[in-house]
Structure 1
Amino acid sequence: MSLSICSQKSYETSQSTECSFTCLEDYSLGRVIGKGTFGKVVIAQHKNSGTIYAIKCVKKAKITTQSTYNLLKNEKSILSMIQSPFIVRYFGCFQNVDYIYLVQEYIPGGELFRLLQTRRKLSLAYVKFYSAEIVSAFMHLHSQHIIYRDLKPENILISASGHVKLVDFGFATVLKESHKCSTFCGTFEYLAPEMIERRGHDYSLDWWTLGVLIYELLVGMTPFRSLNTTGIFDKILKKQPDFPPNFDEDAKDLVCKLLEKNPKLRLSGEGIKKHHFFKDTDWNAVDKLNSQPLWIPIVRSELDTSNYEIYQDSPKNFVRQTHFSFTDF
């Protein structure tokens, strides 16, 4: 069922790069709309322009190793490189004694994860629509030599007009020509075999995660679930996914080719676009945002956060000193 609202597109086009991103005092802060290992995301309104943003607040005291510091710098650098309708827009950053603040586009439709929780699983048409836009997002990233490395329903937001927006580029990295990456990162149930075995990975890792996502959206659970990390990793390395009896045959074939354990044999890029699962997909329409979404989130105002989980913001903790100066951030 499609739910409609008035003037939705204005919520996506009203954000501007004309205001300055210099200090927290320039914003009226709203509630927390996301939490992670290193901080939180809040909705905020710029006092002078009235523009609505999502500000990622990264606690400096949580950045305790060179690798986490590098990931944060990578996130900022990569977001500033990207221009895609399927990836959250980045506007700038600033910092104070305790936090780094990344100013990003506010996406009012909330997480795909919440839609999945509500419906338990999604129809084939929904999954084709969302996965096609993710394919386009990945192809754009890979053309810029970027690996995303953290696809999951929690990192896919839905815009006011019903389209996909990838967020959280904390694990993304730039792949140097003819090299492989070695950092161990990602969400356990979405890890590819080459990541678990630390054999080095490249763009094909993202296509593995797409296979996991398509399965999860259609079934309501991930294909390699287990009670513990050891069990999850063992299944990823040694088992094939079990498919319910009514699982669509084209979807099954695509998932199996994406979940190929040998990354050199894994389906990718143009091969995915040509797969029979997407036989009715107009890729030009997808890239131009001309595909008709099947679900439109209810958004009552620019400041509406009702599509996000309610978080109890914890009281301020004592901030211990970090050994990074952040002067080069």
Structure 2
Amino acid sequence: MNTLGSTGGWLQKRGKLGFWSPKFCKLVGSQLVISKSEKVNNVEFLIEITPDTKIDIVKDPKKHRFSIQDANGEVSVFEARNNDEMMSWILLLRSITFSNPDLNMDCFEVLSVIGRGFYGKVLLVKCKRTGELFAIKSIRKSILIEQNKIRIVLSERNIMVKSHHPFIVQLKFAFQTQSKFYLGLEYVPGGELFTHIYRDGFLQPREYQLVIAQVALALQYLHSIGIIYRDMKPENILIDADGYVKLTDFGLSRDITIDESASTFCGTPEYIAPEVIKRLPYDTAIDWWGLGILTYELIYHNPPFRSTNNQQLFQKILKDEVPFPDNANPIEVNFIKGLLRKDPKKRFCFEEIASNEFFSGFNFDDVLNKRITPPYIPTLEDKANVKYFDNEYTSEQKMDSFVPPVMGDEADVPGFSFYGADTDIANPDNSILAD
């Protein structure tokens, strides 16, 4: 997505007579400053952004337009150069307007627990007003504060706000209470890829090739916007109702547009790249290593390097050659070896992945645009069915558990709340304006 330089940039603005003219728009505090040029003394007028301000997409298939309706009902219409730039403006402006105290867990009916982690759990919920399903990830503030890791949830929230891709789970909204952070995600009903491969048996070649292609496209997109994913594993790949995959869980991801260096030791042990084990600075190449481990596991049902002792496991990752069965397909062997080169500079990049004979017969543009029907499609009686999630979670009591509130300045984190441009939960007047 295009980013806005210092929360400002050029837009076309529609005048009262319907003519369009270029304006330099800059967000200063809660005011949108509109000028003829980037010079401070050329300000034409201001739009005060308040909780009553409405920012909406203007319905036009050929243009990238949005409207701002101020508290007095005055409507200004703007046009961006492309959809990404338009969405950047909408998300930015809506983050200023969002202060809706009504968006809380009372807006939702909890249908099931569908996941659990160290910091909290994931709930399948239904919006009481619209009936729309979401997966809400609740994260306990007290644990994050105790471990000085508030930045993890903030980083995850910020990365998901800027990520828009067909093979990445979308963040729909975010809010907080004094005890928890809540991330409202699109619900992906087919469950984890991990459950599919270990419950239903080996994947057919066409199936794992399509999965790997989709994940590669998601990683390539993340890298293009400055994100290292850092947490590849089958548990973090979900299957949607149509059989396509969605990358999820960005708690360990790193935005290298903010800090170009990355050296943190993190990830699932069997998937950790050699340069991470050596505690060397690393880049996006660690994600291609993770893709290589994933490919191996999808084909052979186990990661290539295994040990119950992490130190022994890391020594195998650093020193051992990748083991293959005697009857392994040589094309698959060469592809995996290209991804699992110990030297990150020699490891396959996206261009080498997409052109490899492993994907013979695949057109990546067709994959991206979902013109290839997945061989495996979940059978769902209804969208709220949770049969593809682990019974360990779905058998739990379906409720948002009580957690004591955090007291003091850390109880509220400014700027966390978020309301997606296509989300309609607590605001009945959230409509799309016609041009």
TM normalised by structure 2 equals 0.68
**Equivalence for 1:209:** 290
1:116-127 mapped onto 2 (5 Å cutoff): 116-127=197-208
Higher relative contact order (CA 8 A, sep 6+): 1
Question: 1:271 Cα deviation (Å)?
Answer: 1.0
Query: Matched residue of 2:304: which SS?
Result: coil
Among 170, 173, 179, the residue aligned to 1:98: 179
Question: 1:250 Cα deviation (Å)?
Answer: 1.1
Query: Matched residue of 1:222: which SS?
Result: coil
Question: 1:230 Cα deviation (Å)?
Answer: 1.0
Question: 1:210 Cα deviation (Å)?
Answer: 0.2
Equivalent pairs, count: 313
**Equivalence for 2:382:** 301
* 1:34 and 2:115 aligned: yes
Question: Cα deviation per residue 1:102-145 (whole Å; 9 max; x = unaligned)?
Answer: 00000011110011112343222211010000111111111111
1:123-202 mapped onto 2 (5 Å cutoff): 123-176=204-257, 179-202=260-283
Among 363, 387, 396, the residue aligned to 1:313: 396
**Equivalence for 2:361:** 280
Question: Cα deviation per residue 1:149-207 (whole Å; 9 max; x = unaligned)?
Answer: 11110000001000010111111111138933122211111000111111011110100
Among 314, 326, 329, the residue aligned to 2:412: 326
* 1:74 and 2:155 aligned: yes
**Equivalence for 1:10:** none
Question: Cα deviation per residue 1:43-76 (whole Å; 9 max; x = unaligned)?
Answer: 0000111110000011112203576211210100
User: Structure 1 residues 163 and 185 mapped into 2: Cα distance closer, same or farther (>3 Å)?
Assistant: same
Question: Cα deviation per residue 1:290-323 (whole Å; 9 max; x = unaligned)?
Answer: 1110100011112111111121538958648477
Query: Matched residue of 2:266: which SS?
Result: coil
Instruction: Please give the alpha-carbon distance, in whole angstroms, between the structure 1 residues aligned to 2:146 and 2:158.
Output: 19
What letter matches 1:313 in structure 2? E
Instruction: Please give the alpha-carbon distance, in whole angstroms, between the structure 1 residues aligned to 2:374 and 2:326.
Output: 28
Q: Is the 8 A contact 1:63 1:322 kept in 2?
A: no
Q: Is the 8 A contact 2:179 2:404 kept in 1?
A: yes
Instruction: Please give the alpha-carbon distance, in whole angstroms, between the structure 2 residues aligned to 1:308 and 1:162.
Output: 15
Structure number with bigger Rg: 2
Question: 1:325 Cα deviation (Å)?
Answer: 3.1
Q: Is the 8 A contact 1:149 1:205 kept in 2?
A: yes
Instruction: Please give the alpha-carbon distance, in whole angstroms, between the structure 2 residues aligned to 1:263 and 1:229.
Output: 22
Query: Matched residue of 2:257: which SS?
Result: coil
User: Structure 1 residues 327 and 297 mapped into 2: Cα distance closer, same or farther (>3 Å)?
Assistant: same
What letter matches 2:413 in structure 1? T
What letter matches 1:225 in structure 2? R
User: Structure 1 residues 250 and 103 mapped into 2: Cα distance closer, same or farther (>3 Å)?
Assistant: same
Where do 5+ consecutive residues of structure 1 fail to align?
A: 1-16
Higher strand share: 2
**Equivalence for 2:335:** 254
Aligned Cα root-mean-square deviation (Å): 2.3
User: Structure 1 residues 32 and 283 mapped into 2: Cα distance closer, same or farther (>3 Å)?
Assistant: same
Greater mean alpha carbon deviation, residues 63-72 or residues 299-308: 63-72
Q: Is the 8 A contact 1:60 1:322 kept in 2?
A: no
TM normalised by structure 1 equals 0.90
Q: Is the 8 A contact 1:156 1:167 kept in 2?
A: yes
User: Structure 1 residues 274 and 65 mapped into 2: Cα distance closer, same or farther (>3 Å)?
Assistant: farther
Among 113, 117, 122, the residue aligned to 2:194: 113
User: Structure 1 residues 70 and 33 mapped into 2: Cα distance closer, same or farther (>3 Å)?
Assistant: same
